[in-house]
Amino acid sequence: MRAAPFIEHKGMRFLNVPHAREVFDEVVTHDCYEIRNLPTDAVLLDLGAFYGEATIFACSLGLKALAFEPSLDSMAVLGINLTQNDFCKHNATAMNLAIAHENVPVSHYYRPEHPAGSGPKANECSVFQSIPGITMEKAIGMARASHPRRPLAVKMDIEGAESIAFSKYHEWLHEVDFVMMETHNFDAGTYAELLMDNGFAVKTTGTGVPPRLPWDGTMAGGLVIAKRKHAKTRN
């Protein structure tokens, strides 16, 4: 039986391309980033947007979203997905950008066999792409400039580039109300501690569908969900 061309769920529509279903299930069906808990006036800065699952999900709930996706191939699917969801027309912007140490082009390695795992590190199957880079400070500034008085949530799934995002002074954390991030190098605990030191209430889980509880330090991948202590949630 031929697969349906689209994944459709509660008014959302996504191209049913390879690997789309697994990410959709994790991000939308199981809400691994707890996007449903964000306040309705929040802005989502979606770093590593892939096919736009988190961005489109957020917009379906009434949020604004700014999506950065470094992979040219994933960006093409993301663009189509945004056009399939009318509620994104005035609420979401997508850009081909990668988080970097400086605002200069960076190396990105697309993995055709596993597009969701594309990132700053090469393997024997990856395809090199030169992508515009953007610092966390500039990314946060763009989100704040567009929506200066709204709560800001950062969702991060950047395949090991978390170390770049957190490599300098973390001043950008003072502009953020929520951080929802996937970690990749057995270091969820490290980021959880850093966020707690900067005034966030934090919990960690394992990755997967559904996410495994709790993250115990033995899994390479983990999820860190952080909320500034004064920030209001939907629930």
Does the predicted model carry a pTM greater than 0.85? Answer: yes
Does 195 fall in a domain? yes
Q: How far is CA 7 from the centre of its chain?
A: 20
Query: What rounded mean pLDDT belongs to the chain?
Result: 89
Burial class (CB in 10 A: 0-12, 13-18, 19+), 151: buried
User: Which residue type does 212 have?
Assistant: R
Cα-based torsion angle of the residue sequence 98, 228, 56, 26 in order, rounded to the nearest 10 degrees: 90
Does 122 fall in a domain? no
| Structural tokens at position 150 | 């709204």
Does 37 fall in a domain? yes
Burial class (CB in 10 A: 0-12, 13-18, 19+), 134: buried
pLDDT digits (tens, 9 = 90+) for 130-165: 889 999 999 999 999 988 889 999 999 998 889 899
pLDDT, residue 46, reads 98
Provide the residue range defining the domain that includes 170: 6-98+134-228
Is the pLDDT at 206 greater than 90? The verdict is no
The angle at the Cα of 88, spanning 85 to 93, to the nearest 5 degrees, equals 130
Is the pLDDT at 173 greater than 90? The verdict is yes
Q: How far is residue 205's CA from residue 69's CA, in Å, rounded to a whole number? A: 24
Does 218 fall in a domain? yes
CATH number of the domain residue 158 falls in? 3.40.50.150
Is the pLDDT at 1 greater than 80? The verdict is no
User: Which residue type does 22 have?
Assistant: E
Does 70 fall in a domain? yes
Contacts of residue 212, defined as CB under 8 A and 6 or more positions apart, other chains included, come to 205, 206, 219
| Structural tokens at position 138 | 């500039």
pLDDT band at 28 (very low <50, low <70, confident <90, very high): very high
Does 175 fall in a domain? yes
Contacts of residue 229, defined as CB under 8 A and 6 or more positions apart, other chains included, come to 199, 200, 201
Does 213 fall in a domain? yes
Q: How far is residue 188's CA from residue 204's CA, in Å, rounded to a whole number? A: 7
User: Which residue type does 214 have?
Assistant: P
- Name the domain count of the chain: 1
Strand partners, 9: 12
CB atoms within 10 A of CB 196: 13
Q: How far is residue 152's CA from residue 61's CA, in Å, rounded to a whole number? A: 15
Does 113 fall in a domain? no
Strand partners, 226: 179, 202
